[in-house]
Chain A
Amino acid sequence: MGIAIVAAGLIELLGLHRPRARDVATGLVLGAGLGLAALFLYLDATSSSTTGVTVTILFGSLFAVSQQMLPSIVALSAVSLLVLAVCYRMLLLSSLSPDLAAARGVPVRAIGIAYLVIMAVAVSLAAETIGAILATALVVGPPATALRLTKRPGGALVVAGLIGVVAVWLGIVLAYDSYYWPPAGHGWPVSFFVVALVFLFYLVAGAVARIVQARRRRHSEAAPRLAASGCAEHPGDAA
């Protein structure tokens, strides 16, 4: 089951640097990733068919990930994480402004392609485990949650990764437990729990952010005048 964590962690890490201009490309890559995953699952499922192929492709199955796939999944995840770490600052600068990055000598095109490639890998890994339909939720949900909780770029990456890992693990535990839930004898699908948890975390993070903000506002209300006058005395003094 270690794969799921690596995969989830990796996937979450990726959603962060999505400049709006690249949304179209991102959509295409998502589609391509899902397509690839469907192909692999199809090939895999026809050789050792336990669940129906269609069901596996659409909803995936964490429990159906085979021994033979394990090494390649881990390797792909590791390579993707490495690429992300290596390109980290260039990605940030490019998403701030491609022109600015290009002027600093950043190969914006190549960085963009590297980003899309690891994104595609992440999506197809996610689709292997929780299925094509719900993979998008696992790719987009945790970063969106992290954005509500932190304003540091590195922090957002780590928080998103953790949320993804927790959601997947907790989902697995609940899926095991659900065996005893009605209708008895049929476990509920893991994918359902994972996505439900991702969504729940997102809502909770929104509430937390709002409470923190409200408290901060109450704190700063004491000295708003001071802050305002502090910034008004500008030109020529801080020399």
Chain B
Amino acid sequence: MSGPTLDESADDAILDVDGVSVWLSGREVLHDVRFRIMPGEFTGLIGSNGAGKTTLFRVILGLQAASTGSVLVGGRPLTRRNPIIGYVPQKIFLDPDMPLRARDVVALGLDGHRLGVPLGWGRRRKAVDAMLDAVDARRLADARVGSLSGGEQQRVLIAHALISRPRLLLLDEPLANLDIGAEGEVVALLARIAREQRIAVFISAHDVNPLLPVMDRLVYMAAGNTASGTTAEVIRPEVLSALYGQHVDVLRVHGRILVVAGAEGPSGVTFEETDGAAVGPDIVALR
């Protein structure tokens, strides 16, 4: 999909991350992250394990303070609660015995932050049913969430995040643990939501490939550094090599992208300098 032509003036940005750095336990997990997301855009946040994707989301949600830099959501500084952001966390442990149906989870998205017991059954029920329809999960409505499959839970959580009508939807690795079929369905669903409801979708993943058909832009994270832009701008050997601090090749095979460590191999680089965890791009995308 070719990126829509969007007016890039800063005032219109739904999310403006400007020079954000985060230090955790004496280590710089995020270094000078800057990018902007426009309304209705589909943006990927690509990075391997430990690259800092979840940390960045937590900063945007106001759950983690940035050491430096600023974040504007809908043109305003962060507050404790940003009703215009919907969030699907990376992993939720759901006990299969938990007495919580899919529809209860979605309803909590509507008013889970309120005091007291819920009232107004009819109206709530209608809104919840409509939302479950929108994510093609109506038939799951009365099942216990804990008993649903990973992909089904993902849909329910997306409905939970969407029912409060956010303008920015953050999804932390929603494709992890999904098979290729379910992966494609969830991506198509999200792309449809972004397009039809003009909700900016910001989705993290460790592999670019599932997102390629729908992504307008991407933010690529490696070794605490980030690069952002369109796929064509970012997924290039020069850009990624600078990011990783090591020679990187980008291979295109059967319409898929493989990011592979260069000919010198890891011996030529000192990894300790950048990150304790191995973030080397041995093979970032291999599936």
Contacts and interface: CB of A to CB of B under 8 A. Distances in A.
B80 A89 contact: no
15 contacts: A85-B117, A89-B115, A92-B104, A92-B108, A95-B98, A96-B100, A99-B58, A99-B63, A103-B87, A106-B113, A151-B99, A151-B142, A151-B144, A234-B188, A236-B192
A153 B99 contact: yes
A141 to B, nearest CB: 14
Interface stretch (B35-43, B131-139, B261-269): B131-139
B189 A234 contact: yes
B199 interface: no
B116 interface: yes
Contact of A234 (B92, B95, B113, B136): B136
A133 interface: no
B189 A235 contact: yes
B111 interface: yes
Contacts, number: 104
A207 interface: no
Contacts of A227: 139
B108 A236 contact: no
A150 B99 contact: yes
B114 interface: yes
Contact of B89 (A100, A154, A155): A100
B196 A104 contact: no
Contacts of A146: 99
Interface in B169-211: 184-185, 188-189, 192, 196
Interface of B: 58, 61-63, 80-81, 85, 87, 89, 92-95, 97-101, 104-105, 108, 111-118, 133-134, 136, 139, 142, 144, 160, 184-185, 188-189, 192, 196
A101 B113 contact: yes
B108 A103 contact: no
Nearest to B81: A105
A74 interface: no
A89 B113 contact: yes
Looking at chain A's contact residues, the main secondary structure is helix
B112 A90 contact: yes
A235 B185 CA distance: 6
A93 B112 CA distance: 6
Looking at chain B's contact residues, the main secondary structure is loop
A101 B81 CA distance: 10
B188 A86 contact: no
Interface of A: 16, 20, 85-90, 92-93, 95-97, 99-106, 146-147, 150-156, 227, 230-231, 234-236, 238-239
A239 B108 contact: no
B139 A235 contact: no
A114 B1 CA distance: 50
A100 B160 CA distance: 10
A20 B189 CA distance: 32
Given A99-B63, A152-B104, A239-B196, A89 B139 contact: no
Given A101-B113, A154-B117, 6 more contacts: A87-B115, A88-B116, A89-B113, A95-B98, A146-B99, A236-B188
Contacts of A236: 188, 192
Contacts of B108: 89, 92-93, 96
Contact of B85 (A16, A92, A103, A154): A103
B133 A89 contact: no
B192 A235 contact: yes
Contact of B99 (A99, A106, A152, A235): A152
A99 B115 contact: no
Contact of A90 (B105, B113, B136, B144): B113
Residue in A87, A101, A105 whose Cβ sees the most chain B Cβ within 10 Å: A105
Nearest to A106: B113
A65 to B, nearest CB: 30
Contacts of B160: 100
